[in-house]
Amino acid sequence: MDVTTILILLLVGAIATYFSGDKLASKVALVFSLGAFGLSLSLLSTYCNGGNISFIANWIDIPKVALAFKADGLAMAMVLLTTALTPLIIFSSFGNSFNNSKNFYALVMFMSFAMTGTFLAADGLLYYVFWELALIPIYFIALIWGNGDAEKRKKAVLKFFIYTLGGSLFMLIAFAYLYSKADSFLLEDLYKLDLTASEQCWVFFAFFLAYAIKIPIIPFHTWQAKVYQKAPTVGTMLLSGIMLKMGLYSVIRWQLPIAPDAAKTYMPVLIGLSIAGVIYGSIVALRQKDLKKLLAYSSLAHVGLIAAGCYTLTLDGLSGAVLQMIAHGFVIVGLFFAAEIIFRRYETRKIDEMGGIRTQTPKFTSMFMILVLASVALPGTFNFVGEFTVLYSLSQVNVWFAILGGTTIILGAYYMLKMFQNSMLGETNAKVFAEVTSNEAITFVVIIAFLLFFGLYPKPIVDLITPSLNEILSNINS
């Protein structure tokens, strides 16, 4: 058994969801996504016992493209993140009703398929195909099921599409160029390539354009907040929880090892840009009145810190970044879900119009509180582990980077707690706020349990990713 089974299961799930009809669609999608999660867990155990779960076969003869899926610890960690979040996201949407829900859930499943493929692909062109495929479903999810004014939404979503497509097309040029040098798209062959400094520089920046837009790193972030705000919550969760991680993962997997010298040369610039994103995102988040937009900018800040960790080119930086990717994936899904729960009851995302929810719903308040604290990296949560490892690695490079990057925690605590205060505490709101339903509670409990468990015991994940990160680092430094 190899990793292609996960992909096949997800694709079959997407098709089955489409044909199951509007009533059953959400349940069928949930069953298949849980199946994929179970399958990835069992494959993980095979992998940990030394079994081979990678897959390689010939796909296209000219140009030579292989159907190569490489499952090392890093890829498996990201696959698990995807397959664990997908059922959670689908389950969290059970309280909503969508028009044409069979199309909606089929697109969600298809997107999960494409993202899993992106994480696993070990052949440049195959990877690119999955990378682009992931864009189509989210475009339609945000466009058709999004909220707010249709004209504005269309503009925001089209901007998002053109931005990301534009960035990735430059990556495609880089791949075409690398192919003309290596006569192969295989990851190992691309790692082995001996490029001159100027070639590396061009390839590096072609990749950078694609990833900086996807992650997003300043100044390529302008699409983000509007799309997060306009997309339906499921779409926002998919985008912020998993899709951004595609960009970060690709930095580690593709950009750094293929053009290591360029990465070393431009390290201060890259870290600087990433940290600028941290500070900018935090400051803008301070002024947001819309809950989803605030979370979008907080996401920008956190992701900036992860990117900074990746570009330190140290083991601590990389592993902290991967840990934080996973932690951020869970916490941001939880936070957007909290926003959605408030929206289901109050039909508003404006923080001013909330307030006083705590007295009516102690359970929801406490769960929301834990997520807020996790997002500001309180010790004991998984986010603390990731964020502090990254900050430590930044301090190894230059202590000022660590100090500036640390503002994410200080400012983060300020705007997140202020948001919490304004929305949950304060004057009792006249409107009735029903306590969370058991379905909603399950989602929260799973997320919180995950964050707390790995916050106290991150060793399994660290052990899983460290060997592959070491391998990548040896490729960077050789």
Question: Nearest distance from residue 153's CB to other proteins, in Å?
Answer: 8
**Binders in 280-319 for other proteins, by CB under 8 A:** none
Question: Nearest distance from residue 346's CB to other proteins, in Å?
Answer: 27
User: Whose CA is closest to 108, among 78, 146, 133, 141?
Assistant: 141
Q: How many of the other CB atoms lie within 10 Å of CB of 49?
A: 7
Return the beta strands (E) in 246-330 as ranges.
none
**Binders in 153-172 for other proteins, by CB under 8 A:** 153-154, 158, 161-162, 165-166, 169-170, 172
8 touching other proteins, by CB under 8 A: no
Question: Nearest distance from residue 158's CB to other proteins, in Å?
Answer: 6
Per the listing, tokens 């991967």 go with 322
Question: Nearest distance from residue 68's CB to other proteins, in Å?
Answer: 16
Choosing from 1, 15, 19, 63, the residue that interacts with other proteins (CB under 8 A) is: 63
- Which element (helix H / strand E) includes 162? helix 150-182
Stretch of residues binding other proteins (CB under 8 A), selected from 143-151, 246-254, 260-268, 383-391? 143-151
Question: Nearest distance from residue 184's CB to other proteins, in Å?
Answer: 12
What one-character DSSP code corresponds to residue 37? H
Which tokens hold the place of 390? 């990254």
Q: b/e string for 323-341 if b means 16 or more Cβ within 10 A?
A: bbbbbbbbbbbbbbbbbbb
Stretch of residues binding other proteins (CB under 8 A), selected from 124-132, 193-201, 277-285, 429-437? 124-132
Residue placing its CB nearer to other proteins in the complex, 62 or 432: 62
Mask: binding to other proteins, 21-50, rule CB under 8 A, as x and -?
------------------------------
Choosing from 12, 24, 41, 136, the residue that interacts with other proteins (CB under 8 A) is: 136
Residue placing its CB nearer to other proteins in the complex, 49 or 180: 180
Residue placing its CB nearer to other proteins in the complex, 32 or 131: 131
Q: Taking the C-alpha atoms of 338, 140, 174 and 390 in order, what is their torsion angle to the nearest 10 degrees?
A: 0
**Binders in 176-235 for other proteins, by CB under 8 A:** 176-177, 179-180
Task: Give the contacts of 178 (CB within 8 A, at least 6 positions apart).
Answer: 124, 185, 190, 193, 203, 258
**Binders in 75-114 for other proteins, by CB under 8 A:** 103
Choosing from 91, 104, 128, 311, the residue that interacts with other proteins (CB under 8 A) is: 128
Residue placing its CB nearer to other proteins in the complex, 165 or 201: 165
Residue placing its CB nearer to other proteins in the complex, 1 or 8: 8
Residue placing its CB nearer to other proteins in the complex, 13 or 124: 124
CB contact at 8 A, 107 and 137: yes
CB contact at 8 A, 76 and 464: yes
Stretch of residues binding other proteins (CB under 8 A), selected from 74-82, 146-154, 188-196, 458-466? 146-154
Question: Nearest distance from residue 150's CB to other proteins, in Å?
Answer: 5
Question: Nearest distance from residue 350's CB to other proteins, in Å?
Answer: 25
Residue placing its CB nearer to other proteins in the complex, 104 or 433: 104
Residue placing its CB nearer to other proteins in the complex, 176 or 193: 176
Task: Give the contacts of 372 (CB within 8 A, at least 6 positions apart).
Answer: 335, 416, 417, 419, 420
Residue placing its CB nearer to other proteins in the complex, 60 or 445: 60
Strand partners, 55: 69
386/389 Cα distance (integer angstroms): 5
Question: Nearest distance from residue 250's CB to other proteins, in Å?
Answer: 16
Choosing from 24, 31, 41, 133, the residue that interacts with other proteins (CB under 8 A) is: 133
Q: How many of the other CB atoms lie within 10 Å of CB of 406?
A: 18
Q: How many of the other CB atoms lie within 10 Å of CB of 279?
A: 17
Choosing from 50, 57, 62, 347, the residue that interacts with other proteins (CB under 8 A) is: 62
User: Whose CA is closest to 248, among 135, 137, 328, 187?
Assistant: 328
Residue 464's alpha-carbon distances to 2, 45, 137, 243, in angstroms, are 18, 11, 31, 21
CB contact at 8 A, 294 and 352: no
CA 269 to centroid of chain Cα atoms:
23
Question: Nearest distance from residue 93's CB to other proteins, in Å?
Answer: 20
Q: 71: alpha, beta or left, given left = phi > 0 and alpha = psi -120 to 50?
A: beta
Total site size for other proteins, rule CB under 8 A: 33
143 touching other proteins, by CB under 8 A: yes
Which tokens hold the place of 473? 């680092």
Choosing from 2, 4, 31, 140, the residue that interacts with other proteins (CB under 8 A) is: 140
Stretch of residues binding other proteins (CB under 8 A), selected from 132-140, 231-239, 361-369, 442-450? 132-140
| Cβ-based burial of 134 (10 A; exposed 0-12, middle 13-18, buried ≥19) | buried
- Name the residues that contact other proteins, by CB under 8 A: 59-63, 103, 125, 128-130, 132-133, 135-136, 140, 143-144, 150, 153-154, 158, 161-162, 165-166, 169-170, 172-173, 176-177, 179-180
